[in-house]
Amino acid sequence: MVAETLWRRVWEARWSYVFMAPTLVLAILFTFYPLVASWYISFLDWSGLDSDREFVGFANYVEAVSDPYFWNAFGRTFAFAAVTVPGTIGISLVIALVLNDQALRMRVVFRTVFFLPVVTTTAIVGIVMSLVLNPFDGPVNAALLYLGLIDRPIDFLGDPNLALWSVAGVYVWKWMGISMIYWLVALQTVPSQLYEAAQVDGAGRWRIHRHITVPLVMPFAVVICLIGFVGALQTFPLVQAMTGGGPAFSTELVEVYIFRLAFAAEYQPRLGYASAVAVFFGLAVLVLTLAQAWGVRRAATSQRELRGGRP
């Protein structure tokens, strides 16, 4: 009986399934199947399309755990996120606070300018920036020399101690505009009556922000950080275009490492091992995001309690 009514409900909703079919087929082929397949491939010793595959169990994972290149890339990836996320979020908050002023007539122009890098092709921007930061004739070094701020050119991308942070700086510049928009959305949820009341009470700008803006915008802040964190782990186009992981692997983040193993290997591509690294990394990201999402929920709940149960 139950089966029969279920079947009836499915049949009645047949058009719903037909309408979902194109999206589902595409998503199964290019999102869900690759998800499962990368698990399977990670158990193989496999060097390319036409070569033999050999099932090796957990050997790839065992190798990854003791692979210094992987752990270095892993640590660098999170160091990169640890620098770029606060950088992006902080700068964008300051700019959003300035641009949120309705009396500022040119704010749409400013907003457009700050958002512009976001819409441009990351890989191409990376190449342009590698020219801009070039130590020999790049405009940044030329300007710094001209102003007398430095004596000799800085090799932003050629110095292994500096390259990752140069890329991080470009990353912040490239993606700041998105967080800025998020902050503007958040700031506009603050009722303007509150500001007016505070002004009438004679509160200064700083105190207004501290006691009105910050508490009301907090729930958004957590979501913005979460989105920023997930984004900061996906750095392949920028890094590959700016440095290709060099010099001396100093900018080799996990995605770049996976690409090198699978598609740009010096000797033989290692698709199985690359998959194992990808799965390992993906799981680590998932665990971290879930932990953060749990934190978001906790923060939201405690805030609701603080406000006396109001949403």
Residues 112-131 touching other proteins, rule: CB under 8 A, are 112-125, 127-131
Specify the stretch interacting with other proteins by CB under 8 A; choose among 110-118, 150-158, 206-214, 303-311.
110-118
Alpha helices, H only, 120-235: 122-132, 139-146, 163-187, 192-200, 205-208, 214-232
Cα–Cα distance, 173 to 79 (Å, whole number)? 17
Q: What one-letter code names the amino acid at 105?
A: R
Identify the residue among 144, 212, 226, 265 touching other proteins (CB under 8 A): 226
Minimal distance, residue 37 CB to other proteins, in Å: 4
Strand runs (DSSP E) across the chain, as ranges?
A: 44-46, 53-55
**Binders of other proteins in range 254-283 (CB under 8 A):** 254-255, 258-259, 262-263, 271, 274-275, 278-279, 281-282
List binders of other proteins among 62-101 (CB under 8 A): 98, 101
203 makes contact with other proteins (CB under 8 A): no
What's the min distance (Å) between Cβ of 65 and other proteins?
18
Q: For residues 284-303, which are near other proteins according to CB under 8 A? A: 285-286, 289, 293
Report, in Å, the least distance between residue 62 CB and other proteins.
Answer: 19
Single out the segment in contact with other proteins by CB under 8 A; choices: 60-68, 82-90, 109-117, 156-164. 109-117
Rounded-to-integer distance, Cα 60 and Cα 44, Å: 8
Cα 311 from Cα 307, distance rounded (Å): 8
CA 71 to chain centre: 20
Which one, 37 or 65, has the nearer CB to other proteins?
37
Positions 159 through 198 that interact with other proteins (CB under 8 A): 173, 178, 181-182, 184-186, 188, 192, 196
One residue of 62, 197, 204, 234 binding other proteins per CB under 8 A: 234
In angstroms, the CA 14 to CA 2 distance is 18
Cα–Cα distance between 247 and 6 in angstroms, integer? Answer: 61
Residue 197 near residue 190, CB atoms below 8 Å: no
Cα 244 → chain centroid: 18
> Per CB under 8 A, does 146 bind other proteins?
yes
When the beta carbons of 160 and 282 are compared against other proteins, the nearer one is: 282
| Beta carbons within 8 Å of 21's beta carbon, 6+ residues apart | none
Whole-number minimum distance, CB 293 to other proteins, in Å? 7
**Residues with Cβ < 8 Å from 116, sequence gap 6 or more?**
177
Q: What is the largest CA-CA distance in the chain?
A: 85
Q: How far is the CB of 124 from other proteins (least distance, A)?
A: 5
Residue among 1, 2, 3, 31 that touches other proteins (CB under 8 A):
31
Which residue(s) pair with 44 in the sheet?
55
Binding footprint of other proteins, residue count (CB under 8 A)? 102
Check binding of 20 to other proteins (CB under 8 A).
yes
Residue entry with tokens 């033989």: 268
Does the protein bind other proteins through residue 249 (CB under 8 A)? no
